[in-house]
Amino acid sequence: MSVLTSLRRTATVRRIAVVATTAAVAVVPLTVAASSASAGTQALSQCQQVYNRQVNTAGWTVPVLSIWEDSSSTCNLKYGDLPHRDPRNPFGDPETAIKTLQRNLNYCYGSKLTVDGRYGSKTQAAVAAVQRRHGLTADGVYGPATRSAMNWRLWNPKLRLSSELCYSPL
């Protein structure tokens, strides 16, 4: 067997193992701390960082947008976050949080957004479309209820691989 054939078989087996492993993922639910209604999510703090929450013993993680230096995911992103909502409070990295959301909307929902870290009208419309798809109030604000309803692409830091499919944390 040639080296090239061996490499191809190894790559194929690895791809099959990743798909099989991710398909069997028992995803831990992300808790919904607030409703998706505009009045409830508008008062929340801006999501300012991303951390990966492990969802199973195989090492798969889901990105969680959260408050700066806190694991609380009771936060939101909304139209006009460019990237900091309040320039007098320039803490955290909301640009990365917005980019993570945009990448996920592109991969899992085919949104075709520019990944620029700015929550503009196209990101707002993509979030509203996801909210409608999942039976939520379509206000275009990304908050706890939207996050919990969304499908997410998982990441395995041990394997340094992203899942090929998207999964709902519910």
Q: What is the pTM of this model?
A: 0.76
Q: What is the pLDDT of residue 140?
A: 98
Q: 3-state DSSP call for residue 111?
A: coil
Q: Does 29 score more than 50 pLDDT?
A: no
CA atoms of 149 and 111, how far apart (whole Å) = 17
CA atoms of 25 and 128, how far apart (whole Å) = 27
**Tell me, what CATH number does 161's domain have?**
1.10.101.10
Q: What is the pLDDT of residue 24?
A: 45
Write out the residue range of the structural domain in which residue 139 sits: 3-167
Instruction: Report how many domains make up the chain.
Output: 1
**In this predicted model, what pLDDT tens digit does every residue of 95-120 receive, in sequence order?**
999 999 999 999 999 999 999 999 99
